[in-house]
A and B are shown apart, each in its own frame.
Chain A
Amino acid sequence: DAKTTQPNSMESNEEEPVHLPCNHSTISGTDYIHWYRQLPSQGPEYVIHGLTSNVNNRMASLAIAEDRKSSTLILHRATLRDAAVYYCIPNTGNQFYFGTGTSLTVIP
């Protein structure tokens, strides 16, 4: 599985956009890029995934670099409920190997 690099922590003001970066320079051509998040005292939950094109869903947007060596999760308007650890996971198979993620703090 591809190695990932994410900032340990980030802060955002409430109702402002947040861009969470992830470097995955060793990603293979068949790896999808998945993002999960873990709210305090909860299990991880799916956020979004993509392969090459940018993706949007009700929770977030995923911007994937043209060379696929990095991606950015975009929360368009951060709320207090978005405070969580965000994990970027490139994977080929059905298994997910979690790194250390980015701990997002949302400031009211």
Chain B
Amino acid sequence: DAGVIQSPRHEVTEMGQEVTLRCKPISGHNSLFWYRQTMMRGLELLIYFNNNVPIDDSGMPEDRFSAKMPNASFSTLKIQPSEPRDSAVYFCASSLDLGDRVAEAFFGQGTRLTVV
């Protein structure tokens, strides 16, 4: 398997524009996570899906952020409108949750977002 695939790897956009980040989890995994990493706040869990259903979105910073998982092989994180403070590296991760609390999470390479 190619691992978790994120696109684009880099995105530069102007303030106010809509940004969509994409993630393809590892085939067969049933859990998907979106994280954001900045120097100031470290790695933050934004949202967690299980079997394509959002389970915990308490980490989503505000209404400008939304995430969807229309099927088991694709997820998007959308920011509309984007602001300079959204600049960060966004990671997607997936795991196979068998209910035993030890599922290993596999992370993608990340999308570096710069909002100018």
Contact = CB atoms under 8 A, between A and B. Distances in A.
Interface of A: 30, 32, 36, 38, 42-46, 49, 87, 91-101
Interface string B84-116: 000000010101010001111111111000000
B102 A32 contact: yes
A93 B101 contact: yes
B107 A94 contact: no
A43 B109 contact: yes
Residue among B91, B97, B103, B105 having the largest count of chain A Cβ atoms under 10 Å: B105
A102 B58 CA distance: 26
Interface string B26-40: 000001010100000
For the complex of A and B, list the 4 residue pairs with the smallest distance between their C-beta atoms, beginning with the closest.
Answer: A43-B107, A98-B43, A46-B104, A94-B97
B50 interface: yes
B45 interface: yes
Contact of B95 (A94, A97, A100): A94
Given A43-B108, A44-B107, A45-B107, A94 B43 contact: no
B42 interface: yes
B56 interface: yes
Interface of B: 4, 31, 33, 35, 42-43, 45, 48, 50, 56, 91, 93, 95, 97, 101-110
Contacts of B93: 43-44
B82 to A, nearest CB: 22
Nearest to B91: A43
A95 B65 CA distance: 20
A97 to B, nearest CB: 6
A96 B103 CA distance: 10
B45 A94 contact: no
B48 A44 contact: no
Contacts of B107: 42-45
A49 B104 CA distance: 9
Nearest to A30: B101
Given A44-B107, A45-B107, A94 B50 contact: yes
